[in-house]
């Protein structure tokens, strides 16, 4: 009969991994794939920060999400509402480099956000590796 402590730890770790995958890793991987796609199928333009929406994070701190207006090849102006919150108020009127899909200018990202996406992806992979390593170590210890 398996050790009940081991079973409890295994179930808890699996739930934690699934929860973490659902929230963090999926979002990081999706953003990473989108970034890779846009890097190879994009035009680059300069946008202007027009405004920012404000939200409170889990700690009650304010997070600012800039709204950027940018021109595309078709002469139209589009708005990009970022999903990467900043702790400082963005400079309204400041210039930002924007990457957008050639055939679909609404599909865009901030060029500087690429590094945050990559770091988020790497962090997610490190956490998953840590969780799996400890799960294997725990299973071997309790044999």
Average pLDDT over residues 73-102: 84
Average pLDDT over residues 58-85: 86
Average pLDDT over residues 120-138: 75
Does the structure show a pLDDT above 60 at 135?
A: yes
Average pLDDT over residues 128-135: 77
Does the structure show a pLDDT above 80 at 55?
A: yes
pLDDT of 20 reads: 61
pLDDT of 127 reads: 75
Strand pairing report for 77-81 and 62-71: antiparallel
* pTM confidence score: 0.55
Give Cα separations from 47 to 27, 38, 68, 90, 101 (angstroms).
25, 16, 6, 13, 15
Does the structure show a pLDDT above 90 at 79?
A: yes
Does the structure show a pLDDT above 70 at 24?
A: no
Does the structure show a pLDDT above 60 at 72?
A: yes
Task: List pLDDT tens digits, range 29-48.
Answer: 777 777 777 677 788 899 99
């Amino acid at each position: 009969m398996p050790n009940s402590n081991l079973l409890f730890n295994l179930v808890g770790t699996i739930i934690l991994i699934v929860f973490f995958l659902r929230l963090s890793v999926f979002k990081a991987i999706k953003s990473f794939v989108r970034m890779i796609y846009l890097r190879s199928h994009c035009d680059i333009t300069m946008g202007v920060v027009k405004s920012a929406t404000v939200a409170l994070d889990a700690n009650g701190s304010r997070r600012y999400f800039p709204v950027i207006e940018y021109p595309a090849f078709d002469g139209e102006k589009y708005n990009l509402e970022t999903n990467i919150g900043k702790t400082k108020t963005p400079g309204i009127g400041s210039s930002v480099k924007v990457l957008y899909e050639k055939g679909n200018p609404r599909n865009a990202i901030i060029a500087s956000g690429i590094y945050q996406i990559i770091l988020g992806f790497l962090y997610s992979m490190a956490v998953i590796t840590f969780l799996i390593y400890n799960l294997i170590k725990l299973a071997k210890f309790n044999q």
